[in-house]
Amino acid sequence: METTEQEYIPYSQRPDWADVTPIAQDDGPNPIAPIAYTDDYKDAMGYFRAISRAKEISLRALQLTEEIFWLNPGHYTAWAYRLEILKQMNIDLHSELEFLDEFAEYNPKTYQLWHHRREIITLLGEPLKELDFVATVLADDAKNFHAWAYRQWVIRHFNLWDGELAFVEKLIDEDVRNNSVWNQRYFVVTRGSTVALNSAVVNAELDYCFQQIAQAPSNECPWVYMKGLLHKFGSSQHWVTVEQRIHALIAEEPESTDEGLAKYRPSRHLWGTLVEVQAAKLRCADEVAKLVQETPEAVTSKCKQEVQAMCEMLGKELDPIRQKYWQFRTHQLVSM
């Protein structure tokens, strides 16, 4: 295994490469902004151009691609060439996974690494210990987008939904503000083959959201998750229930406590969610009217009054940086 930490030996000094004439990069006679490549990288790429032009499939070509990765982890052409070598030489792909495991320790956010790993696992046709591997990567960086995207692919491709919700809840318990984990929860709940997304499931998810909101009302994650779930799968009853539960939170707490200001009243996410509730009620005023035993006209009038009051408070007090947005939202909803 060669890494950038080891002393680089020019390929011209390696006996097993004596038969290859390197091809230098041609940027033209007057390049406008030439890239200042290192001498090591220019040397390795000269030999890579030569063997790729010759379409050489060999172990030394495989080793060369690896050395290029340590110099430039995102070299997608070298990754594609490496995959072709592995296929044609019928090399043990389990050893390739060992290389990828080590490489990921130093380059966990290189997209090409994750794409290559996906190709290898597809060829193997088995998930092996992929979810454990991704969990290890996430333990170092729980917001690694590439790791989460790969994990979702593994779960879908091999139907590994069982246990994923428990994994997600463990990470939320560790960091309730980790938006990446909340995104994974939405993925599992809305797409998981083991979950039938009926009204009972939506209610259970709302309960879970309010449990997490109680820990940190100013945390945006559960509010966004809840709104996303309701917009996609919520009924009129769900929106009304959320409104009632939010107002109950506000009504049950004093305006101030021994520790200072109340938890819920200053939350711009709470009031922003209530604005979305009013928008949903305006869209289905007839259904809401039956639930609350009022006329559709009364529901509509009340919703618009609520929108104006809440958006004004958000724009002036709780979320002034987005004052223009709340003014727009007021105009949009009141005009419905």
Q: How many Å apart are CA 85 and CA 99, to the nearest integer?
A: 15
CA atoms 86, 87, 88, 89: torsion sign: positive
Other CB atoms within a 10 A radius of the CB of residue 256 amount to 10
Is 164:132 a contact under the CB 8 Å cutoff? Answer: no
Alpha helices, H only, the chain: 39-53, 59-71, 76-89, 93-106, 111-124, 130-140, 145-158, 164-174, 179-191, 199-215, 220-233, 236-252, 268-283, 285-292, 296-313, 323-334
Q: Whole-angstrom Cα distance, residue 84 to residue 78?
A: 10
| 42, 87, 109, 302: the active-site residue | 109
Would you list the DSSP string of 309-327?
A: HHHHHIIIII-GGGHHHHH
Cβ–Cβ < 8 Å for 326, 318: no
Residues 6+ apart with CB under 8 A from 308: 330, 334
HSE of 117, CA atoms in CB hemisphere, 13 A: 29
Please report, for residues 42, 51, 136, 234, the alpha-carbon distance to residue 19 in angstroms, rounded to integers and kept in the order given: 18, 11, 43, 68
SS3 256: strand
Contact between residue 280 and residue 239 where contact means Cβ atoms under 8 Å apart: yes
Is residue 87 part of the annotated active site? The answer reads: no
Distance CA 39, CA 42 (A): 5
Q: In terms of C-beta density within 10 A (0-12 exposed, 13-18 middle, 19 or more buried), how is residue 293 classed?
A: exposed
Residue count of the chain: 336
Q: How far apart are CA 80 and CA 98, in angstroms?
A: 18
* Catalytic center residues: 109
